[in-house]
Amino acid sequence: MQSDPAITRLIQDWQRGDESAERTLFDLLYKRLHQLALSCLRSERAGNSLGPTALVHEAYLRFNAGAELQIVNRNHFLALAARVMRRIVVDHARARRTAKRGGDEVQVEMQENLISRQQDADTILAVDRALEQLSASAPRQAQIVELRYFAGYSIEEAAAVLGISSRTARREWQVARVRLKGAIDGTPAAT
């Protein structure tokens, strides 16, 4: 893969409207975008109509629709891609839940990777609601959760994207997990 400065240059050219830079950028980052999609979908049921390739393509379309984005570098681009993919997965879960019969709140079991792999649309929506609450009170913690859970970043990678130390990222990750569990379970968590 090309170096980060080369990727940054391609991003800048793409934002200026260079279509060849856009194609080159997505070609170079397609494998990483596909990995992000797999990470976002790791909790979806087998046979789900939303696969990783479809998720990458839908994210690409949404990126093109948001042409006014100010993307700084490769890490920022991938973090935004993870956020876009998360929104797509949540929208897909909402549509699936609506098509089903609906339902009320659901109990969600928290594990090391935040939620178990057998989650369904209700669980995705419960996590999304909890993450929105966390984002309102602790935006950086919510960003760390998005990068760790939806993008599959390590603590060190998330820290680098956010420009903070690994130690700070680890501490905020631990606090975020407790707060999310409290929000999902409906119990207030200590901050």
State residue 66's pLDDT score.
Answer: 60
Q: Which two tokens stand for residue 175?
A: 């606090």
State residue 175's pLDDT score.
Answer: 93
| Residues 171, 167: Cα–Cα separation, whole Å | 6
Question: Which residues lie closer than 8 Å to 175 by C-beta, 6 or more apart?
Answer: 138, 141, 191
State residue 15's pLDDT score.
Answer: 83
Q: Going residue by residue through the chain (191 aa), what tens digit of pLDDT does each one get?
A: 455 788 889 888 888 888 898 889 888 888 888 888 888 777 655 555 678 888 888 888 887 766 567 788 888 888 888 888 888 888 887 777 666 554 444 444 444 333 333 345 677 777 788 888 888 999 999 989 888 877 778 899 889 888 899 999 999 999 999 988 888 777 765 54
CA-based R_g, the chain, Å: 17
43 within 8 A of 115, measured Cβ to Cβ: yes
State residue 188's pLDDT score.
Answer: 63
State residue 155's pLDDT score.
Answer: 93
State residue 107's pLDDT score.
Answer: 44
79 within 8 A of 148, measured Cβ to Cβ: no
* Neighbouring C-beta atoms of residue 109, cutoff 10 Å: 12
* Neighbouring C-beta atoms of residue 28, cutoff 10 Å: 16
